[in-house]
């Protein structure tokens, strides 16, 4: 999963804090147990002494090594049985349970060369928080209000705006619920204020909640990051730029609102092409139509989008204006 360095850092900090909290709780329970049942402290001291004796004996030479090791083993087994009986008699089950939060990685966050599932889950949670901040809303698909779209037949669309947007909402729901590495690319196309950003954010949160890495960026921020990585020797920007290519799902919001220029056009073509070559799904939302794309960027980019992206139509009246009218 291509999570940002900031997300991984926050997740590791939470994991370290959880480990420290568990150790503190265990130490408090142990101190309470020693005070209540002093014999437990004596047993633990003796167990540690026996372990040290066993280690020392293992590196010694002589005919009685095996016998000494067996004697220490039997002593420890007896002490452990006594300890277990005392704990069961005086404390609730689990009171002195010192197993780590994650028994797979021991709270290191790594399992072999891969990220452990415990750290992945914390990354998923942190990513969900970040996506909520970026999109500015916690709302989901169920809050998408179709009543803002007219149910009157419009000959321009060949259907009512509401009928088209019902299909668009269904497409987005299905995409999010069934997202995988082989999902198609989507191009959200339509005028300002029709719900493109809202539904993009809904998709991002569902996909992230299912454990995939998602990069959700406005066009202006993305190109600014790419420019800083290219010209300013900015390490953070380079790492973020790499994530745009590597993440499971890239959502590029409001393409066409950024400052135009040769660098933007070249960077956009490179980004689209790189993700197509690696089979990484991308969602782009824009107010531009195909002809405007060709004029603003290039015919090559317009052709790529037309041939490799599924267009999802957004139609109707600007919802923000309707809300201002008290709709």
> Residue 282's pLDDT is what?
97
pTM: 0.69
Per the document, the length of the chain is 327
Q: What is the DSSP string of 50-88?
A: HHHHHHHHHT--STTHHHHHHHHHHHHHHHHHHHHHHHH
Answer whether 284's CB lies under 8 Å from 316's CB: no
pLDDT of 231 reads 87
Around 313, how many Cα atoms within 13 Å sit in the side-chain half-sphere? 14
Q: How far apart are CA 150 and CA 309, in angstroms?
A: 27
Q: What is the pLDDT of residue 61?
A: 65
**CB within 8 Å of 9: residues ≥ 6 apart:** none
Which pLDDT score, from 0 to 100, does residue 279 have?
93
| pLDDT score for 224 | 92
At 152 the pLDDT is 92
Q: Are 245 and 282 in contact (CB under 8 A)?
A: no
| Residue 53 token pair | 């004796």
Extract the runs of DSSP E, i.e. beta strands, from the chain. 110-111, 114-115, 153-154, 159-160, 185-190, 214-218, 249-255, 282-286, 309-314
The pLDDT, as a whole number, for residue 327 is 63
pLDDT by residue for the chain (327 residues), tens only, comes to 567 777 788 888 788 878 877 888 888 888 999 999 999 999 999 988 888 888 787 777 665 777 778 888 888 899 999 998 999 899 888 888 877 777 777 777 777 777 787 887 788 777 777 766 655 556 689 889 999 999 999 898 899 999 999 999 999 999 999 999 899 999 999 998 899 999 999 999 899 888 898 999 999 989 999 999 888 888 888 888 888 998 999 999 999 999 888 999 999 999 999 999 999 999 999 999 888 888 999 899 998 898 999 999 999 988 878 776 666
- Looking at residue 159, what DSSP letter applies? E
Cβ partners under 8 Å of residue 87, min gap 6: 33, 40, 95, 96
What distance in Å separates the CA atoms of residue 285 and residue 200, rounded to the nearest whole number?
Answer: 8
Residue pointed to by tokens 């909290």? 21
Contact residues for 65 (Cβ-Cβ < 8 A; gap 6+): 57, 58
Q: In 3D, which of 144, 257, 135, 244 has the Cα closest to residue 197?
A: 135
Look at residues 147, 141, 191 and name the one whose alpha carbon lies nearest to residue 170. 141
């Amino acid at each position: 999963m291509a999570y940002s360095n900031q997300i991984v850092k926050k997740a590791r900090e939470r994991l370290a804090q959880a480990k420290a909290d568990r150790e503190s709780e265990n130490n408090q329970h142990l101190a309470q147990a020693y005070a209540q049942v002093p014999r437990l402290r004596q047993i633990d001291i003796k167990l540690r002494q026996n372990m040290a004796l066993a280690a020392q004996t293992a590196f010694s030479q002589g005919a009685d090594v095996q016998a000494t090791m067996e004697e220490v083993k039997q002593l420890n087994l007896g002490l452990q049985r006594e300890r277990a009986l005392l704990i069961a008699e005086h404390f609730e089950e689990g009171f002195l349970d010192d197993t780590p939060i994650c028994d797979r990685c021991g709270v290191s966050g790594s399992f072999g060369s891969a990220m452990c599932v415990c750290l992945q889950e914390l990354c998923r949670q942190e990513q969900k928080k970040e996506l909520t901040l970026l999109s500015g809303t916690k709302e989901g698909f169920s809050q998408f209000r179709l009543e803002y779209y007219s149910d009157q037949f419009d000959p321009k669309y060949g259907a009512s705006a509401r009928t088209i947007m019902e299909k668009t909402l269904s497409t987005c729901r299905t995409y999010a619920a069934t997202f995988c590495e082989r999902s198609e690319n989507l191009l959200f196309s339509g005028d300002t204020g029709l719900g493109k950003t809202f539904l993009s954010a809904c998709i991002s949160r569902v996909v992230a909640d299912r454990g995939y890495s998602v990069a959700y960026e406005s066009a202006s921020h993305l190109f600014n990051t790419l420019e800083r990585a290219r010209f300013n020797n900015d390490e953070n920007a380079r790492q973020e730029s790499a994530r745009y290519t590597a993440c499971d799902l890239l959502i590029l919001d409001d393409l066409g609102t950024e400052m135009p220029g040769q660098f933007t056009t070249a960077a956009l073509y490179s980004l689209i092409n790189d993700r197509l070559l690696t089979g990484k799904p991308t969602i782009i939302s824009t107010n531009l139509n195909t002809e405007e794309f060709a004029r603003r960027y290039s015919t090559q980019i317009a052709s790529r989008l037309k041939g490799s992206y599924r267009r999802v139509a957004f139609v109707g009246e600007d919802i923000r204006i309707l809300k201002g009218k008290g709709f």
